[in-house]
Amino acid sequence: MSHSWIGGLYFKHHSQGIDYWLFLGTLPSLLWNSNRLPEWLTEVFSSLGTGSFFIDGPIFSKLCYLVTCHPKNIEYILKTNFNNFPKGPDFKEVFNILGDGIFNVDSDQWKVQRRMAHAGFISAEFKTLVANMSQQVVEEQLVPFLDHVAKNGSTIDLQDVCSRFAFDSNISVIFGRHENYLSIELPSSVLAKAVDDAQEAILYRHAMPIFLWKFLSWLGIGRERKLSEAHKTVDVLFQEYISQKREDLIKGVETVDLLSSYIKSSDDLAKSDKFLRDAMLSLFIAGRDTIASGLIWFFWLVSKTPSVEMKILEELKQLLLFSKKRDDDQIEIKWPCIFDSDDLKGLVYLHAALCESLRLYPPLPLNSKSVVKEDVLPDGSLVKPGMQIILSFFSVGRMPWIWGEDCLEFKPERWIDDDGKLLTIEHMPKFFAFNAGPRTCLGKDISFTQMKSAVTAVLFNFHVQVVEGHHTLPLPPAQHQTPRPPPV
């Protein structure tokens, strides 16, 4: 056994597979890898050959994390014994910008908001709105922008484009607003910047003790200062949106959007602007992040796997030919070709490819839970009150003992059975891109609708190609920084 000593404080702890510091525990290792947390946790799981491990804080603290990627543990925590593993007060402190939104609350508060969100999402009017708004953003902004780029032979940051598409799509369905954030000029957005700054600060809060980021917040420096400024910006803008919406409804100006449905609901909570602010912000961020992350990684994976792109295009061509023959005998494909969202629902391979992309790159790579009562998880791990549990969804998709030896391959076929039928998310108890159990994402169908509108228009009308010589990360990302999609 080799040792590496630094001032007598550091040595290698082989039983953990991660660096252990005397007096400080394994916390420095966590902080050191805070900018690549999902990848680092995956490396630890691989080195240990197990589905769970502990991260200990300093000896003078009670800080202790259980990190797990074991599907049975995750299902037990999120579904089987759901009530024993709430978000906990620490979670709400970390995500304080979300206030009392659905992702921050537990128990009765969560049930009320879940019911209200469910009522909004399942309405036929809202589903139609999502489909129409997604198609409108694709047709009026996304395709013209990419056409402009292609004609000029420019290189673009597709991650920025996907984020802008997600921003415009979601702000229209939630607030009924049209910001044109994806116009050819690529305008700036005060709200988009504020949300980005807030999320960056929150990411770093996850990787440091509460007392440390609270101290930095008190000093008003670094990312904590940006978070504070972002919080104020969001408050001002959302108050403006809510006030304007209330005025419009009083004047009889009706729009089909989520905020309107909340305001018009009979629930007393809807009378509070603070409640509406927290609810809409949570849903806006969740929708934007899911779509943006899902799209960029999908495009990158498809660009690196020509066989998948070919099969998707063939499926789209068959759909187009069928729809044309169904209407008349003249088959004429015009450019640009924008697909109707209703026709896209039956595409098996496209849906499988999106699920496979989400398996490898889930929009929420990590989740955290607290512990109410002492419990033993299915893999034998003992958890106690006061302990934090980190669920590594990112790592789940990269474990051969979970998905097979080909787990790192982008393989949509794993989602299709021998009869050519799609295996649904419910058939995959090891897939957690949309969470699981009572907190399963209510907007997953909406997310697929928005993503399908974008990917079909982009793939059918353009060819996405990674810039030659640009450094990209292999699957899985190993000894590198947190992977970011390349410009294309």
**What are 9's two structure tokens?**
């404080």
* CA 79 vs CA 53, 83, 233, 293, 304: distances in Å: 21, 9, 36, 25, 36
Residue 326 neighbours by CB under 8 Å, 6+ apart: none
d(CA 128, CA 125): 5
d(CA 169, CA 177): 10
Q: Closest Cα partner for 78 from 357, 368, 285? A: 368
Three-class SS of 73-133: HHHHHHHHCHHHCCCCHHHHHHCHHHCCCCCCCCHHHHHHHHHHHHHHHHCHHHHHHHHHH
| CA 397 to chain CA centroid, nearest Å | 15
Residue 254: half-sphere exposure toward Cβ, Cα within 13 Å: 4
Contact status, residue 308 vs residue 367, Cβ threshold 8 Å? no
Residue 25 β-bridge partners: 21
Burial 327-362 (b: 16+ CB within 10 A, else e): eeeeeeeeeeebbebeebeebebbbbbbbbbbbbbb
d(CA 484, CA 472): 8
Neighbours of 221 (CB within 10 A): 11
Contact status, residue 321 vs residue 315, Cβ threshold 8 Å? no
Neighbours of 438 (CB within 10 A): 12
**What are 369's two structure tokens?**
């839970």
| CA 443 to chain CA centroid, nearest Å | 11
Q: Rounded to 5 degrees, what angle do the CA atoms 2, 3, 9 make?
A: 165
64 labelled ligand-binding: no
Reported in sequence order, the residue ranges of 360-426 that DSSP labels E, i.e. its strands, are 366-370, 375-376, 382-383, 388-392
With 0-12 CB in 10 A as exposed, 13-18 as middle and 19+ as buried, what is 325? exposed
d(CA 287, CA 292): 9
**Residue numbering of the annotated binding site for heme:** 441
Annotated binding-site residues read 441
